[in-house]
Structure 1
């Protein structure tokens, strides 16, 4: 895919998200397939019409969308942003395109925490994509980290993924460094809170940024984990995440899988 084609997909995806702020239906009408729009946000109905019918309400409550990062990987566009409706939330949205139109959507949202143990925000940090030639290698590397460390296939490899204790953390409950990660995991264990990744569903990458979409358990609830990693010099240098509980079946508005 050429850079121009990638830029076009990003433009369309951003325009759709900004529609939620403006209330203007033009981008949704132009860029979302009218006959096929598979919605994986289970609190929303399937299909394009559900988005169109929500616009007036979203504009009325003062919805804002601030885009921070975008990744393009084949037919997928992933967007890292701040939503503001009933308070600020950090979000990842993933759109899948077919023949230039959006046909599928996944997302994860989490309340924004102003003060974190690392003193970083949940959204700040580098945005520039580089090392495009290392995209595939970085995707393999990050996937192996999630499998070995978070799915716990080989947790003894933890230190091999980092440059010493140099690791910038944007998670709202974890301090910087491997030491911060270890302390957070130990604290969960001491409080008998189960934190377990069980399956990786997607790995989306562009250059030095890789987004993984996983499911698992957090404090007894089925949970969706979206983790964004920045890779530098062959090591994981920075991490952002959004964690959201999966709705129970009786509260879901569509029959699609969360993933």
Structure 2
């Protein structure tokens, strides 16, 4: 009887350990790609390498930030220095589209910056990364900053419809295939703008473009490389030029009732090939 009791206790204890282990593994498996991307970005602030070691591929990590070489080790090596420098990361928006996760964040990374990061996942780990960064500037003429505004993702059943709307807008208006169609993409003058130099509404956009033309500043979109969408948010990644400099344009749009209602962007000059730490290209 005594031996049976001891055996039962041992089995119960083993059962607790086994159950706990299964719970831990199960919880880990339940992490979404967006959860993993959040952990990886937050490690830049914490300095803890665990997320990078778990969720970033050791064998294949293609880097499109042109100041970093391929592979995760460069970032892992930099984590202690980033923490020591007081790096902070405040993630504002996360968009998940299949194997892609895009994040819109405020950084204190050797100065205050706004940025977009895009991660591509394969078999549950990150295998590719793109980003666009710019310095934080003052609020625009309408009082909006580069990062404030709507954050709630809704209308997921309209993802493909909203993706097509924004893709067509970029082709028609930004790339310039049918610029006369601009008004069909907006509900009158209802349009919230987060670009630092442009006021709200189509009227604000028109004023800014006229000012640029008068100053001899040109902005050209040549090609869109990526369109990432979830519900009412759509992010486009395009290549072109701004003020005669080779440029990467990241534009985030919020769609409401079939119209573009809000816009954020990050514009980054693409460094020349002679200064790049990898050969993958910006896109």
* TM-score normalized by the length of structure 1: 0.97
Alignment of 1:236 with 2:245, yes or no, is: no
Alignment of 1:69 with 2:96, yes or no, is: no
Give 1:115 shift: 2.3
Whether the 8 Å contact between 1:66 and 1:83 is mirrored in structure 2 is yes
Q: Write the distance in 2 (CA, Å) between the matches of 1:145 and 1:155.
A: 9
Alignment partner for residue 139 of structure 1, among 163, 170, 176? 163
Alignment partner for residue 277 of structure 2, among 241, 253, 257? 253
Q: Write the distance in 1 (CA, Å) between the matches of 2:180 and 2:282.
A: 31
Alignment of 1:190 with 2:209, yes or no, is: no
Q: Write the distance in 2 (CA, Å) between the matches of 1:155 and 1:230.
A: 20
Q: How many residues align?
A: 256
Alignment of 1:118 with 2:142, yes or no, is: yes
Correspondence for 1:130: 154
Alignment of 1:154 with 2:217, yes or no, is: no
Q: Write the distance in 1 (CA, Å) between the matches of 2:139 and 2:54.
A: 39
Q: Write the distance in 2 (CA, Å) between the matches of 1:169 and 1:140.
A: 21
Correspondence for 1:22: 46
Q: Write the distance in 2 (CA, Å) between the matches of 1:87 and 1:208.
A: 31
Correspondence for 1:53: 77
Give 1:86 shift: 2.3
Q: Give the structure with the higher percent helix.
A: 2
Distance 1:224 1:5, change over 3 A: farther
Correspondence for 1:220: 244
Whether the 8 Å contact between 1:6 and 1:72 is mirrored in structure 2 is no
Q: Write the distance in 1 (CA, Å) between the matches of 2:87 and 2:69.
A: 19
Give 1:140 shift: 0.5
RMSD (Å) for aligned C-alpha atoms = 1.3
Q: Name the SS for the 1:129 alignment partner.
A: coil
Give 1:114 shift: 2.5
Q: Name the SS for the 1:253 alignment partner.
A: coil
Alignment partner for residue 110 of structure 2, among 67, 86, 103? 86
Whether the 8 Å contact between 2:133 and 2:266 is mirrored in structure 1 is yes
Correspondence for 1:10: 34
Give 1:6 shift: 9.2
Whether the 8 Å contact between 2:139 and 2:146 is mirrored in structure 1 is no
Structure 1 stretches of 5 or more lacking a match?
none
Note the alpha carbon deviations across 1:138-187, whole angstroms, 9 max, x for none: 00100000111000111111111100001000001110000011111111
Which protein is bigger by CA-based radius of gyration? Answer: 2
